[in-house]
C-alpha cells in the first residue's frame, strides 16, 4: 500500500477539491442500506437550500451534513466509520496530523456559520466536533485519512459544547459509545454508520458574546447503526448539558480539581421517536425497525425505553 508512513506536519492537510468529496455512503455496511436522515416538512424550511431549492447536502470525506440557516449550525451529520487497524495507520497523533485549524467551507458564505467571534472567543464554550476526528480519521491511504481528519475542522462541523464536558465522566462515555458498541457486538467489518447533531430547539437560551445574539444548544444526539452478523442494530442517545450550564455559567473561571466530575452532563439511551420529536430529523423505516429495546409491533412495549447511562455497561445491547 502506498502513502503509508506518517510524517510530522505543521498544519492540517486539506483537500482543495470540494467537488470531489464523496460524502456519506448508504451502502457502507455490507449487505445493508442505511440511508441519510431526512427532515420533516416544517424543518426543511429552516435549512440552507441549494440552487434546486432542496436542502443543500454538504459532502465531505466520509460524511455529509445539512445546515440550519438561522442557527448557523448543522442540523444533522451522517458519517461512515471504519475501525479496522489497517485503515487507521497506527492512529497517528495530532502532532503527526498537524495543528488544529478551523476553516470555512467555500460553498457557504463565512457569515452563514458560527465562528470564534460569535460564541467561542470569550466563553466557556468549546468548538465541539459533531463528527469526531477519531471516528472520521481512516482511509485506504494515509492521504485519505489526513483529508478525512482535516474535514472535521470545518465550521459546519462545530457546535457550542461546554468546556467542562471534556473533563467530565460523561465526556468519555459520550465520545466512546460508537467504538465500544462496535467492539462489544463484534460488528461486521468493524464498521458503523453514525448520525448526530445538536438539538436546535426554539426554546434554547441565547446570549450576546460580542457579535450579536446567538442561541446555543442544550442537548445533543447521536444514532449508531451497526451490523451484528446478518442483523442490523441501531442505538439512539441523547446528551443534556443544561445542568452544567446552569451550574457553571458561560464565563466562569476553571473549576477546582475536586469539582471536575460533577453530574452536570446527562447521557440517555432513548428511542429514535424521541430524537425525531426534538429535532425534526427523520430516519428510514429500516433504521427504526433495527432499534434495540423494541417490543413486538402493536404492543405497549413497541417503543424503546429511555434510560440514564452512567457507564457503557448500562447500554442495552440487544
Active site includes 129? yes
| Residue 166 assigned as binding residue | yes
* Catalytic-role residue among 62, 68, 129, 154: 129
Question: What is the dihedral sign for C-alpha 318, 137, 164, 203?
Answer: negative
Strand positions, DSSP E, the chain:
38-39, 58-59, 63-68, 73-82, 125-129, 158-162, 191-199, 206-208, 213-215, 219-228, 231-240, 266-270, 281-282, 307-309
Q: How many CB atoms lie within 10 A of CB 269?
A: 20
The residues, ordered by sequence, that sit 6+ positions from 56 with a Cβ below 8 Å of its Cβ are 47, 48, 49, 50, 66, 67, 107
42: how many CB neighbours lie within 10 A of its CB? 8
Nearest to 271 by CA among 258, 259, 287: 287
* Rounded Cα–Cα distance for residues 10 and 13 (Å): 9
* Separation between Cα atoms, residue 55 and residue 43, nearest integer Å: 10
CB contact at 8 A, 142 and 5: yes
> Rounded CA gap, 83 and 180, in Å?
11
Three-state DSSP at 156 gives helix
Phi-psi region of 62 (alpha: psi -120 to 50; beta: other; left: phi over 0): left
Tell me the binding residues.
Answer: 166
Residues marked active site are found at 129
Tell me the binding residues for Mg(2+).
Answer: 166
Amino acid at each position: 500500500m502506498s502513502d503509508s508512513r506518517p510524517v510530522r506536519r505543521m498544519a492540517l492537510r486539506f483537500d482543495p477539491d470540494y467537488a470531489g468529496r464523496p460524502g456519506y455512503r448508504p451502502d457502507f455496511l455490507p449487505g445493508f442500506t442505511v440511508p441519510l436522515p431526512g427532515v420533516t416538512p416544517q424543518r426543511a424550511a429552516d435549512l440552507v437550500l441549494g440552487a434546486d431549492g432542496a436542502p443543500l447536502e454538504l459532502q465531505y470525506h466520509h460524511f455529509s451534513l445539512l445546515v440550519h440557516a438561522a442557527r448557523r449550525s448543522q442540523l444533522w451529520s451522517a458519517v461512515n466509520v471504519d475501525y479496522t487497524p489497517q485503515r487507521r495507520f497506527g492512529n497517528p497523533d495530532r502532532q503527526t496530523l498537524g495543528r488544529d485549524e478551523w476553516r470555512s467551507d467555500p460553498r457557504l458564505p463565512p457569515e452563514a456559520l458560527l465562528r470564534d467571534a460569535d460564541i467561542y472567543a470569550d466563553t466557556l464554550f468549546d468548538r465541539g466536533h459533531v463528527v469526531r476526528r477519531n471516528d472520521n480519521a481512516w482511509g485506504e491511504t494515509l492521504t485519505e485519512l489526513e483529508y478525512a481528519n482535516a474535514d472535521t475542522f470545518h465550521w459546519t462541523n462545530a457546535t457550542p459544547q461546554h468546556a467542562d464536558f471534556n473533563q467530565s465522566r460523561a465526556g468519555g462515555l459520550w465520545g466512546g459509545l460508537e467504538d465500544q458498541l462496535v467492539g462489544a457486538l463484534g460488528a461486521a467489518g468493524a464498521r458503523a454508520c453514525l448520525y448526530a447533531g445538536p438539538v436546535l430547539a426554539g426554546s434554547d437560551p441565547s446570549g450576546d458574546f460580542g457579535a450579536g445574539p446567538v442561541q446555543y444548544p442544550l442537548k445533543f444526539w447521536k444514532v449508531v447503526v451497526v451490523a451484528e452478523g446478518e442483523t442490523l442494530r441501531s442505538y439512539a442517545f441523547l446528551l443534556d448539558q443544561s445542568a452544567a450550564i446552569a451550574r457553571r455559567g458561560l464565563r466562569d473561571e476553571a473549576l477546582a480539581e475536586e469539582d471536575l466530575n460533577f453530574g452536570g452532563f446527562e447521557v440517555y439511551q432513548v428511542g429514535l421517536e424521541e430524537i425525531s420529536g426534538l429535532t425534526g430529523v427523520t430516519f428510514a423505516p429500516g433504521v427504526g425497525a433495527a432499534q434495540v429495546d423494541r417490543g413486538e409491533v402493536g404492543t405497549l412495549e413497541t417503543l424503546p425505553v429511555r434510560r440514564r447511562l452512567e457507564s457503557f455497561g448500562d447500554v442495552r445491547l440487544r
